[in-house]
Structure 1
Amino acid sequence: MNIDNLVQNITPELFERLQYGAATGKWPDGTPLSDEQKQQTVQLVMLYQAKVAQSNEQFTIGANGEMVQKTKAQLQKEFNSDNEIARFSEHDL
């Protein structure tokens, strides 16, 4: 299996486990990752983010393998979308 097929077959649940392992150095059940597993887990997370995930996070890995950093204006524009439920001013409260 080539790397593209491997990444395309990662489920969202598996991706969450990989992210957890990369962030904490442990699997969700508490088992520590070896140094080799840590390196491979981080690589898989980065590949998945670059090739599959459509993330709205500030820092991600782009399809070209480089880090993508959104500006403050881009983040504000995303957060000021039609997803607002209500907006209050201090006089309304």
Structure 2
Amino acid sequence: MTDFLQMIETINADIYERLKLAVEIGKWPDGQRLTQEQKELCLQALITWEAKNLPIDARIGYMGEQHCKSKAKTIPNLLLHS
């Protein structure tokens, strides 16, 4: 785990963007496809780097203040009408 954290410390914004693009398109810049293991490791690196360097609302997967649309509707209680 120490090696992984040390590697995260070497990631700069350019490397971060390259890793992010590789995961998004599933390929390295040379066109070679990422293996499943490479995708997983890249995502772990991206998430860890973001936790140290980006505000929460700029991180992968941030959803914000979203609410389920069904909660906005009032649903009648059918048991009261029987």
Point out the structure with max Rg over C-alpha.
2
The answer for unaligned runs of 5 or more in structure 1 is 62-66, 73-93
CA contact (8 A) 1:22 1:38 kept: yes
TM-score (norm. length: structure 1): 0.56
- Corresponding residue SS for 1:69: coil
Greater RCO, 1 or 2 (C-alpha within 8 Å, sep 6+): 2
More strand, by proportion = 1
Paired residues for 1:65-84 under 5 Å: 68-71=62-65
In proportion to residue count, which structure has more helix? 2
Q: Secondary structure at the match of 1:28?
A: coil
Structure 2: runs of 5 or more not aligned: 67-82
**1:1-93 pair list within 5 angstroms:** 2=2, 3-54=4-55, 57=58, 60=59, 68-71=62-65
How many residue pairs get matched?
Answer: 65
- Normalised to the residue count of structure 2, the TM-score between the two structures is 0.62
* RMSD of equivalent CA atoms: 2.4
1: distance between equivalents of 2:12 and 2:38? 18
Q: Distance in 2 between matches of 1:21 and 1:55?
A: 22
Looking at structure 1, the residues matched to 57 and 30 of structure 2 have their Cα atoms a distance apart, in angstroms, of 28
User: Which whole-Å CA distance do the structure 2 matches of 1:68 and 1:6 have between them?
Assistant: 24
